[in-house]
Structure 1
Amino acid sequence: MSKGKFYTSNEKAQTHDTMTPLLSAMYSEFKELSKKKPDSAVSKSKIKIVNRLLEKVRDVLADEDSIEFLDLLDEDDVPQVSDVTLILSQYVAAMDAFRGKHHGWDGANNKWFIK
């Protein structure tokens, strides 16, 4: 492995590229809602949608140190909008870190460092 390059799989790179815009959009929506009604409860159906996305993101981050700090939402707790926003912000940061670690200039192109 070259100095400064950390390799990942093609599958994780593709999943990252697919999930990142969805995660960003979801985070933006909850962030806006959090400004208006931070204490509002989130419905179980929305929690399922969020968790479905986060589970795919967790697949990408499975080998990263940050995974131990990334939680899924508990449907039984009925989280508030501000809770969801906080959790999503952590996932956004972890995905940004993943890209920074496994994507970059190879001397000719910006690309994923694939095993």
Structure 2
Amino acid sequence: MKSIEEVEALEKLIGQLEGLHTEISQLARKAPNDGLNKFKLNLVNKVIANGNRLLQGRYRPFDDFEQFDEDNLPTNSDVTMIIAQYMEQTERFRSDNVTHERSRWWYVVNNAASNLSARMPTTVGGEKK
């Protein structure tokens, strides 16, 4: 990662994706084929737009996916599936940008360990950017 602001944006994205996934998964269990309302869809699209800005190259879940179409409301299960893909790739990006030093995990900023503590990576392997 290039900056502390990018780390902060990543942490915010992770929290938003987890929250959306929890809420929309509950809707999908009750009514998987119902369309998401426009208010929720707007929030989902904002989070996806942030994900698309942050997750570049091999980390972007779908090269050609920008957002859901507001005029053709996606189903709860469609949204849950897409959010799950963004969660997976966000975790892969996070895991590829942490390092273990001084008995702790730290975010890597500008190719060096920062002073921002991180969780242990969950995705092993992959190339570092």
The answer, yes or no, to whether TM exceeds 0.5 is: yes
**Once the 2 structures are TM-superposed, how far is the Cα of residue 66 of structure 1 from its aligned partner?**
3.3
Partner residue, 1:47 = 41
Aligned length: 106
Q: Which amino acid aligns with 1:95?
A: T
Q: Higher relative contact order at CA 8 Å, sep ≥6: structure 1 or structure 2? A: 1
Q: Secondary structure at the match of 1:39?
A: coil
Q: Which consecutive residues of structure 1, in runs of 5 or more, have no partner in the other structure?
A: 1-7
Asked if 1:98 corresponds to 2:98, the answer is no
Q: Distance in 1 between matches of 2:89 and 2:46?
A: 17
More helix by share: 1
Structure 1: which amino acid aligns with 2:10?
H
Give 3-state SS (helix, strand or coil) of 1:75's partner: coil
**Counterpart Cα distance in 1 of 2:7 and 2:99:** 12
Change (3 A) 1:99 1:68: closer
Inter-CA distance 88–112: structure 2 relative to 1 (3 Å threshold): same
Q: TM-score w.r.t. structure 2 length?
A: 0.75
RMSD value, Cα: 1.5
In the alignment, what sits opposite 1:9? 2
Q: Whose strand fraction is larger, Structure 1's or Structure 2's? A: 2
| Identical positions, percent | 24
Q: Which runs of 4+ in 1 moved over 3 A?
A: none
Q: Residues 1-115 of structure 1 correspond to what in structure 2 (within 5 A)?
A: 8-10=1-3, 11-61=5-55, 63-67=56-60, 69=62, 71=65, 72-105=67-100, 107-108=101-102, 109-115=104-110
Contact 1:12 1:59 in 2 (8 A): no
Residue aligned with 2:99, SS: strand
Q: Would you say the 8 A contact 1:23–1:92 is kept in 2? A: yes
- Provide the rounded CA distance (Å) in 2 between the counterparts of 1:97 and 1:64: 12
Tell me the distance in 2 between the aligned counterparts of 1:68 and 1:87.
9
Whole-Å Cα distance in 1 between the matches of residues 99 and 87 of structure 2?
A: 18
